[in-house]
Structure 1
Amino acid sequence: MFHHVSIGVSDLNRARQFYDAALEPLGYMRLSTSDKWLGYGAEQPQLWIKLAERPVVADMESGLHFCFVADSEESVRGFHAKATVSGGTDNGEPGIRPEYGSFYYAAFVIDPDGYRLEAFFHRPE
């Protein structure tokens, strides 16, 4: 449905370090770089990180989060591990989420600007 998503951050260098590390295990990489934005994806940028004067204020109760598709449980674990050592905060360790389905394997982190992120793998039956 979406062609891309853009989010604003207060520190582009900090965001680059975080997203370069966190998205690598999922097979996504930085494909575009400037002094005002970063673009991430597998083949073309689909997540744009932009330097913003007034980024959206982090709100844990807003319901807003972004979920990345993973190709294995190992990549979900890698996402969580690299995100939490690169400036992110744990918001749910890797594991099955029975409340979402018996085959829903995911991990959750909060990026340095307060955005809630998820990596998800649909475990085969």
Structure 2
Amino acid sequence: MIDHGGIDVADFEASTAFYDKAIAPLGASLLYMLPLEYTGGAKVGGYGRDRPVFWLQEGNGGQKTHQHVAFTARSRAEVDALHAAAVAAGGKDNGAPGLRPHYHPNYYGAFVFDPDGNNVEAVCHDPE
């Protein structure tokens, strides 16, 4: 149902350095930068596997409240890899990889805070 979304970030370069490493294990990367003439001079870039679906926008010192974004992992190994990559890129652990059966029996997720304090999650819904 959701086609794409994004968050404001305080430091675009720090955030893209974090997300470049954190979501690479999912096969995602920064695919597109909007031309500055269309953004009022703000840096705006889109991440995805085959098209931009997660957008970062420089502006206003980041979000006023912290956001939560969950990335779909194709396997539990991808969840593990995103968590490790995000922590290695400077993210703060907010929940090690593991089953979260209170959501549903096969919910395997991991959580990390990004440089702006947003809760970044990787989740796999497959049974193994």
Task: Please give the TM-score of this superposition, normalised by the length of structure 1.
Answer: 0.89
5 Å-filtered alignment, 1:65-80, equals 65-80=68-83
2:45 counterpart of 1:48? no
Contact 1:105 1:121 in 2 (8 A): yes
CA deviation map 1:18-73 (0-9, x unaligned): 000111111111101367122101111011101002421344xxxx4111100011
SS at 1:57 equivalent: coil
- Name the CA distance, whole Å, in 2 between partners of 1:58 and 1:29: 25
- Name the CA distance, whole Å, in 1 between partners of 2:127 and 2:23: 22
5 Å-filtered alignment, 1:104-119, equals 104-119=107-122
SS at 2:23 equivalent: helix
Offset at 1:74? 0.7
Offset at 1:124? 2.1
User: Which residue of 2 is the match for residue 30 of structure 1?
Assistant: 30
Gaps of 5+ in 2: 35-41
From 69, 94, 97, the counterpart of 1:94: 97
- Name the CA distance, whole Å, in 2 between partners of 1:66 and 1:112: 14
- Name the CA distance, whole Å, in 1 between partners of 2:13 and 2:63: 18
Q: Which runs of 4+ in 1 moved over 3 A?
A: none
CA deviation map 1:76-95 (0-9, x unaligned): 00100010111211000001
How many equivalent residue pairs? 121
Percentage identity across aligned positions? 42
Gaps of 5+ in 1: none
What root-mean-square deviation, in Å, do the aligned CA atoms of Structure 1 and Structure 2 show? 1.6
